[in-house]
Amino acid sequence: MDTATTPATAVILVAAGSGQRLGYGMPKARVPLGGEPILMHALRGIVASGVASQVCVALPEGDGVLRALCDDFRTELVDGGPLLTLVDGGASRADSVRAAMAVLEPGTQAVLVHDAARALTPESVFQRVVEALAAGAKAVIPVIPVVDTVKTVQPTTGDGAAIAPELVTGTAHRETLRAVQTPQGFDLATLRRAHEGAAGFDASEAAAVTDDAMLVERLGVPVHAVRGASQSLKITTPLDLIIAEGLLEGPLGVRWVEG
């Protein structure tokens, strides 16, 4: 990709989550993976992809450990590398995205929003998203096919970990389903407009905003899907961490596992 002709592209790395489902008793971004915090894998992946003029990391408010790690990482960045900016995240993921958008450099035209929990996303996924934006799309998401049959239910709990039996209300047609990943790429003006509509959400409405593309869909702006990668899993549960460790230790190395 010719980065010299690519318009200024910021990457927002949202890393302000508590990581409760991982059960480590610390913010997920700090949990070690292959001997290094999850956040550092995500940061290195972004920089290696070469797509970012600025990387803005939303950190858990007041987390001095992660802030110090990012400050150290800044000293490793070479001349011509991205500007690294840190902000305190908010109560919801969408709040963290808005806090980061507020400090993007003037002149930024495109923005990618990436979950720090997707620490092993290959460079090629970043590049596919940026290429689709450069080709004129206003919103781009990486996706992978769904392997399970997916049903809708009347939930008995909100977190998907229900033990009580639930009533099945329907079966989705699998060929039309995709599992959605990050980085999600947007024309910055479009993403700002999409988030304006969500700024007044109450806590439960905000919690239901699980990605940025859904806010853009509400504007009626077309969202385009490009190929993601299975190793770009969102590290959420202890099992995900085991898989991610296995990918790092694999004989070919995680960057080759695409598919």
Q: Are the C-beta atoms of 89 and 58 separated by less than 8 Å?
A: yes
- The answer to whether 15 contacts ligand C5P (rule: CB under 6 A) is yes
Closest CA to 18 of 8, 6, 26: 26
Residue 222 preceded by cis peptide, ω within 30: no
Q: Which of 9, 10, 17, 198 binds ligand C5P (CB under 6 A)?
A: 17
Rounded least distance, CB 43 to ligand C5P, Å: 12
Tokens for 33, please give them.
């993976």
Rounded Cα distance between 148 and 171, Å, is 11
Rounded least distance, CB 21 to ligand C5P, Å: 8
- The answer to whether 212 contacts ligand C5P (rule: CB under 6 A) is no
- The answer to whether 117 contacts ligand C5P (rule: CB under 6 A) is yes
Question: Of the ranges 13-21, 62-70, 184-192, 225-233, which one interacts with ligand C5P (CB under 6 A)?
Answer: 13-21
Q: Are the C-beta atoms of 181 and 234 separated by less than 8 Å?
A: yes
Helix or strand run (H / E) with residue 58: strand 54-59
Q: Given the complex with ligand C5P, which of 88 and 131 has the nearer CB atom? A: 88
- The answer to whether 16 contacts ligand C5P (rule: CB under 6 A) is yes
- Three-state secondary-structure class, residue 32: strand
- The answer to whether 116 contacts ligand C5P (rule: CB under 6 A) is yes
- The answer to whether 92 contacts ligand C5P (rule: CB under 6 A) is yes
Size of the site for ligand C5P (CB under 6 A): 18
Helix or strand run (H / E) with residue 152: strand 151-154
**Residue ranges that bind ligand C5P, judged by CB under 6 A:** 14-17, 28-29, 58, 89-93, 96, 115-117, 210, 236
